[in-house]
Structures are given as C-alpha cells and as structure tokens.
Amino acid sequence: MNRTRGDTVVTEEQRKPGPSGGLRSEKYFQEKELWGFIHRSFTKSMGYTDEDLKKPVIGICNTFSELNKCHSHFNELVEYVKRGVWQAGGVPMEFPTISIGEPYVKPTTMLLRNLMAMDTEEMMKAHPIDGVVLLGGCDKTVPAQLMAAASANLPSIVLTGGPMLNGRLNGRSLGACTDCYGFTLEHKAGNLTDEELAVAEDAICRSDGHCMVMGTASTMASIAEAIGMALPGCAAIPAPDSRRKHLAERTGKQIVELVRRDLRPRDIMTADAIDNAIRVTMASGGSTNAIIHLVAIAGRLGLKLPLRRFDELSAETPLLLNLRPSGQYQMEEYFEAGGVPALMKELEPLLNGDCLTVTGRTIRENIASARTLNRDVIRSLEAPLDPQGGIAVLQGNLAPDGALIKQSAVSPGLKRHRGRAVVFDSPADLAARIDDPALDVDENSVLVLKNAGPKGAPAMPEIGQIPIPSKLLKRGVRDMVRLSDARISGTSYGALVVHVAPEAAIGGPLALVQDGDEIELDIAERRLALLVPEEELAKRRQGWQPPSPHYDRGYGYLFQERVLQANLGCDFDFLLPKELREELLTGK
C-alpha cells in the first residue's frame, strides 16, 4: 500500500522507522552503488562517521540573519537544539532558508512569505533528512514554516525565538511596536522633541527577540503552540531567558522522538486543531494577520477555512488575555502568569482536547497541570475582559467577501459609526495628502485607502493604520474609523477595518468609493456598508480602470499573477492541493 508524503510516493515499508530501511536518510547513505558512495564520502569529509550516518538525520532550519533583528540570536539557540538531537541519538544538520525581518523588508514581508514557504518546503523535500526543527519568530516566518511543514509533511517541530524583554523608560513598560506608533504620533503632534524621541528609541527594544506585545509574532508563536506544533510553553518564554535554551534542547530531543514515532504535521494540524488555534487567537486579542496565515496553512492541508468560521468561534470565545494592544500587560508578564498552557487551561471547556501534539500527547494531557498564576493577566471564562474574542469579521456591500477589525482595540465610541468618506487612491496618494492643511476632513470622517491589497500595493503591506491627519492630531483626535484593503501590524490599535475583499485593484466595491460617500460601521451587527444606491455604483463600475501592474518580471510578477485574495489566505493558487484549488477558483 502506498501513501503520499508531499509530492513523493513511498511504500508502507519505507514509512517504518528503524534499521529495516524506513528512514529517508538511509536511502541516501546505505545505498551500495555510485550515489551511495558519493553521499557517504562527501558527508564524512565534514567529520561525520559511518556510525553517525546510521542515525536519524535532523535538519535544523536556521533563519538567522543580521537583517532580521528578531532572529539575531538564532545561531546560539541552534547549538542547544543540536545538543538535544545528539543526546536523543540523532544527527543534527543545520541548513538556511531566506529570513524575512518585518522592520527592514520593503515593500512588505508579505510579498516574501510564500517564497519562504516554497524555499523551506523544497529544502525539506530535497535533502536526506528524517525530521526538521523549524526556527522562526518574526511575523511571516512562522506561518511560512507551518505552510511548508503542511506541504512537505515530514516530522517537524517549531521552535520560536521568544519575545523581547519589556522596554523601560522613566518607570514605564514599553512595547514594540505599539509604543512606536504612540511615540511617533506624539512627536508628529509636537508633544515630543527630537531628543525625547531618540531616548525612546534606545529604551523600547532592549534585548534579543521579537515584539513583546500580542502582535503578529507573538500571535503566531501562540498558534504554533495551540495547533500542536511547538512544545508547551514555547511561545512566551522571553528570548534572553535561560529557560528558552532549555526548551531548545528539549525540542532537539523531541524531534528525534517524532521521527521514531513517524508523527507528522498532517497528523497534528487537523481541522479540530485549527479551531483550537483560532480560539486561542480570539481569547488572546491576537493579530488580524493570523486569519490570513491560518487560512493559508489550512489550504496547504487541503482544508477550506471560510471567514465565517473565525466569526463563529470569536462569538463563542471570550477575550481572556489582558495584553497590549488590547489590554495592559506584555509577553513577559504573560510568561510569568503561565503562558499559553495556562490560557488553554482556562479555555479547556471550549477546546478540542483530543488533538494530538508534537509531545506525542493530546492537548488535554499537555495542559493537565497548567494553572494561571496572575488573574489580572489571564482571566477566567467566568470573568473575561470581554464576552467575545478580539477579532470580528465584517460583511456588507463594501466587503462581499469579508473584512476584519480587531474589536478589542477599538475606541468604544467608534464601534458603531457613520461618516463621510475621505478617499486616497493609493499609498502614494495617502502619503502626499494626509497632512495637507486643506484636506477636507474632520474627526467624524472615514479615511479610506484603496489599492493597498494583495495585487494592488503590491502584496498587502501593513499600512492599514492610516495616520490621523496632522491638523486633527493637534486638536487632540487620536482615533478615527479607517478602512482599507491593506493589513495592519498586530501591534496596531484603533478603529481599523482591514483586509477588505475583494480588493480595489481587481474591481472590488472598495474601488468605487468616492469622497463624500457615507459609510456605516456596526461591529455588533458585523456590518460594513457603503450607503450609495446600486444604480450609482453600476455607473461608476462602467468607468473603472484597473491600476497598472507593479512588475513585469521576476518573483514580483509571479506574485501579482498568482496570489489569492485575503479571504483565501494570500497563498499562490498553484501551491494548494489540486482539489481545493479547483474548488476555490471555480466556486464549485
């Protein structure tokens, strides 16, 4: 009987671990003809022995880069993973893939998430490795690696790099990048000097690690744990804490066990496990980006994950985690309060407890002894911060395929709002006019940004936190309803409607909005409406022209030609399993 591993068909005998020939690496190193000789000779020249080549070979995907601050400590972390692999009887072999750091990559790391997923998948499938440790941390790296793991389906385990320690300034805790927005906003309003801003720059990021609020990096680390692909406790241990080194060693040991048990990502990342990850995201006030990434991961597994499933689970899942930008604390306090295992223990009545994890045990078994150590950080189901989860899915004639808002970070007075549109046709138009003193705008206006989606921007950058116009900042305005087909950082806050689908660049209704149109937002009713008669919209549609493409060659051209819309995960259509691809593209 044959089973498929990714694109490779293997026999049941080859699937079995052990000395009978079941390890993938044995097909390379125990083969008696020319290629076996070459594989052994070249490998032994690096110091490995014949004895080593009979052990499980563990690939360690090290995404260290000096252009990725969040991964700057990975070379040290890898050494602890290797120690664990050796101790468990495996042979560690480190390999690189591209590394995409959120602060540096332009126009956006989202352009390269799919490329990183492809790079990782092909490296996993092409080499003589039996299992893989995936080191990630920055926003798009963990989803790219989970997408690759789902497609390659080799025994895999995720090790995230951990959050930074809290920033500190004048006795106050700071968080990147929630306070990055705050400091620059107050500087723009004239309330901070250049010198004061420079002091804040030095104080906000004071250790290795990724952003220490519940931004996308922390959200995806939590998802890796909740979905069962990382060891319990992995998400919240601060990067410089010695306990992350201990976890790295245990991760190295555990991947050898996964190989021996032949436990693979598709055994773990089931539909029920994805539901668990969604609930943890909603209870955490997690990033809106998580929805795009979970849809993409599900797609690689051959699972259709509509936006309505997120809204169903959000409506049933209270907000329990008191973390910025939706709450008061940061990842350091979350770790001290018990981390993801403690949060999942509070959510246990709502979770699918029988889901298998990389520990070889179920979720229920993993969290059996977990407990909350600080009730102000992690609330109970009986006393939540909010009865609903952090993210709401909006629909209406302005977003037929959905839009998102992080309702837990919206100013209360803007959760239901009607205002006239002030429209920017592109990111460049926004940059040119947002601070124009002549801009016809007031605090009740709805700021609308077009052509910032997957094809339009290109690649849907995190520019949905449209700046408050300077003249309104000086009057004390700090939040407005803002609407776009772009994304936002998970560290963002405010009344930000994002991921509007279909996007303006392909002729979605957003493309038809004009200055002065009335727009209605009602989060409780999940409603986003353009209050313009259909006959008028039909006239506008006849005159609409698509924007010029951004690329005429290379990877950018591939991206704009084959990327799916936000509600479908922004993966490339050709990377989905054939049956799901046909269903999504034909609607059948």
pLDDT surpasses 60 at 342: yes
The single-letter code of the amino acid at 265 is: P
Query: Domain coordinates of the chain in residue numbers?
Result: 55-165+207-367, 168-204, 393-543, 554-586
Angstrom distances, CA of residue 309 to CA of 358, 425, 558:
25, 32, 30
CATH 3.50.30.80 assigned to 393-543: yes
pLDDT surpasses 50 at 353: yes
Helix (H) or strand (E) holding 372: none
Q: Which two tokens stand for residue 37?
A: 């000789």
Question: SS in 3 state form for 414-442?
Answer: HCEEEEEEEEECCHHHHHHHCCCCCCCCC
Residue carrying the six token digits 């979605």: 508
Phi/psi of residue 142, nearest 5 degrees: -65, -45
Question: For 525-534, how does the pLDDT look when each residue is reduced to its tens digit (9 = 90+)?
Answer: 999 999 999 9
Confidence label for 465 from pLDDT (cuts 50, 70 and 90)? very high
Fold agreement between 55-165+207-367 and 393-543: no
Question: SS in 3 state form for 192-248?
Answer: CCHHHHHHHHHHHCCCCCECCCCCHHHHHHHHHHHCCCCCCCCCCCCCCCHHHHHHH
Q: Do the Cβ atoms of 390 and 282 come closer than 8 Å?
A: yes
pLDDT at 588: 62
pLDDT surpasses 60 at 278: yes
Q: Do the Cβ atoms of 568 and 584 come closer than 8 Å?
A: yes
Q: Do the Cβ atoms of 134 and 61 come closer than 8 Å?
A: yes
Could you give the CA distance from residue 45 to residue 48 in angstroms, rounded to a whole number?
7
pLDDT surpasses 80 at 433: yes
pLDDT at 20: 42
Question: For 500-542, how does the pLDDT look when each residue is reduced to its tens digit (9 = 90+)?
Answer: 999 999 999 999 999 999 999 999 999 999 999 999 999 999 9
pLDDT surpasses 90 at 36: yes
Q: Do the Cβ atoms of 89 and 256 come closer than 8 Å?
A: yes
Q: Under DSSP, is residue 312 helix (H, G, I), strand (E, B) or coil? A: helix
Could you give the CA distance from residue 210 to residue 217 in angstroms, rounded to a whole number?
7
Q: Which two tokens stand for residue 304?
A: 């259709």
Angstrom distances, CA of residue 485 to CA of 393, 460, 482, 557, 571:
14, 7, 11, 20, 16
74-87 helix and 242-261 helix, angle to the nearest 10 degrees: 50
Could you give the CA distance from residue 251 to residue 81 in angstroms, rounded to a whole number?
6
Q: Which two tokens stand for residue 510?
A: 């957003």
Question: For 366-420, how does the pLDDT look when each residue is reduced to its tens digit (9 = 90+)?
Answer: 999 999 999 999 999 999 999 999 999 999 999 999 999 999 889 999 999 999 9
In the sheet with 57-62, reading across from the earlier edge strand, the strands are: 91-96, 57-62, 131-136, 156-160
> What mean pLDDT value characterizes the chain?
94
CATH 3.40.50.2300 assigned to 55-165+207-367: yes
Could you give the CA distance from residue 374 to residue 419 in angstroms, rounded to a whole number?
41
| Cβ neighbours for 386, distance < 8 A, ≥ 6 positions apart | 318, 319, 408
The model carries a pTM of 0.94
Q: Which two tokens stand for residue 249?
A: 């060693």
